[in-house]
């Protein structure tokens, strides 16, 4: 009779668990009440730790109101979805008549002084 009472107690306890914990523990069919309580507590603590970890990671990413948007508001274009047209000059040396990949100047330009 005590074995049946223990099993009934476990089944009743399982039915009151959160669905995520019930799913993790339910397949084990634990019929020892102290063990069942211990496993449920461990699952709950793991879930709380996981939640606080991801919350901390999200808080570290940024607190701006644009956080989580799949686009960058700071780089608004012309709104038509087209690429920005350049002035026809080389991006490497600044001269016209060729593009940066065809630039006759060898080497890279200094960002500070602009010389090659």
Condensed to tens digits (0 to 9), the pLDDT of residues 12-51 reads 999 999 999 999 888 888 999 999 999 999 999 999 999 9
CA terminus-to-terminus distance, the chain: 92
User: How far, in Å, CA of 75 to CA of 71, rounded?
Assistant: 9
pLDDT (mean) for 56-70: 67
Predicted structure pTM score: 0.47
> Which spans in the chain are helix H?
2-15, 19-26, 33-61
Positive or negative torsion for Cα 7, 8, 12, 15? positive
Instruction: Give 57's pLDDT tier (boundaries 50, 70, 90).
Output: confident
Task: Output the CA angle 87-88-91, nearest 5 degrees.
Answer: 90
């Amino acid at each position: 009779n005590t074995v049946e009472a223990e099993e009934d107690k476990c089944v009743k306890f399982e039915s009151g668990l959160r669905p995520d914990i019930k799913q993790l523990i339910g397949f084990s069919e634990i019929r020892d009440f102290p063990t069942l309580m211990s496993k449920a507590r461990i699952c709950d603590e793991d879930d709380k730790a996981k939640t606080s970890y991801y919350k901390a990671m999200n808080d570290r990413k940024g607190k701006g109101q644009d956080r989580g948007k799949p686009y960058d508001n700071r780089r608004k274009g012309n709104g038509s979805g087209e690429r920005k047209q350049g002035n026809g000059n080389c991006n490497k040396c600044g001269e016209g008549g060729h593009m940066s990949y065809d630039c006759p100047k060898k080497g890279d330009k200094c960002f500070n002084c602009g010389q090659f």
